[in-house]
């Protein structure tokens, strides 16, 4: 059990899709994202206390096992890869074109995520519970 304090805070993270595209509109895409979040959590070794999938962004509440930047590297990397692979497998060419960019040095051609996430530090149980309630009262897929 995580005890929240200044020495062991939680983070409220928001990550937004490229150009705010409403990628997460189907049940199947949301299932893929849920599975990818679990994979990211296990791979990164961080706790995932709550999350919600909105049409064009995610809200996550995590512990401070990793920095927000490192946590989002796991989250964005794994969810992005899984969603883009699904779009390729299903031949969703129109969606892929919207996520396309010039080939980067790591040889990838698509980006699901904008690279300007938001991280808020949660230092007290009250702050944590306010964010949990906000997250769970958002529409779409609370977990």
Class of the CATH domain delimited by 10-142: alpha beta
**How is residue 83 written in tokens?**
């969603």
Show pLDDT as tens, one digit a residue, over the chain (143 residues): 567 888 889 999 999 999 999 999 999 999 999 999 999 999 999 999 999 999 999 999 999 889 999 999 999 999 999 999 999 999 999 999 999 876 666 667 899 999 787 999 999 999 999 999 988 887 654 45
* Phi, psi torsion values for 12, nearest 5 degrees: -105, 110
Instruction: Give the model's pLDDT for residue 131.
Output: 93
- Spatial distance between the Cα atoms of 95 and 32, rounded to a whole number of angstroms: 16
Q: Is the pTM of this model over 0.85?
A: yes
* The pLDDT of residue 103: 65
Break the chain into its structural domains and give their ranges: 10-142
Distance CA 41, CA 62 (A): 9
Token pair of 6, please? 């200044």
Residues 6 or more apart whose CB falls under 8 angstroms from that of 132 comprise 49, 50, 61
pLDDT of residue 107: 66
What is the torsional sign of CA 17, 21, 25, 29?
Answer: negative
Separation CA 11–CA 2 (nearest Å): 12
């Amino acid at each position: 059990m995580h005890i929240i304090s200044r020495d062991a805070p939680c983070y409220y993270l928001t990550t937004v899709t490229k150009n705010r595209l409403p990628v997460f509109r189907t049940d199947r895409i949301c299932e893929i994202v849920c599975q990818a979040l679990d994979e990211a959590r296990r791979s990164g070794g961080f706790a995932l206390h709550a999350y919600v999938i909105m049409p064009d962004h995610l809200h996550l509440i995590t512990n401070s096992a990793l920095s927000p930047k490192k946590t989002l590297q796991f989250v964005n990397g794994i969810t992005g890869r899984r969603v883009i692979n699904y779009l390729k497998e299903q031949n969703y060419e129109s969606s892929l074109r919207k996520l396309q960019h010039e080939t980067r040095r790591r040889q990838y051609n698509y980006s699901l995520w904008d690279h300007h996430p938001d991280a808020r530090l949660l230092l007290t149980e009250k702050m944590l519970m306010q964010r949990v309630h906000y997250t769970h009262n958002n529409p779409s897929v609370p977990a």
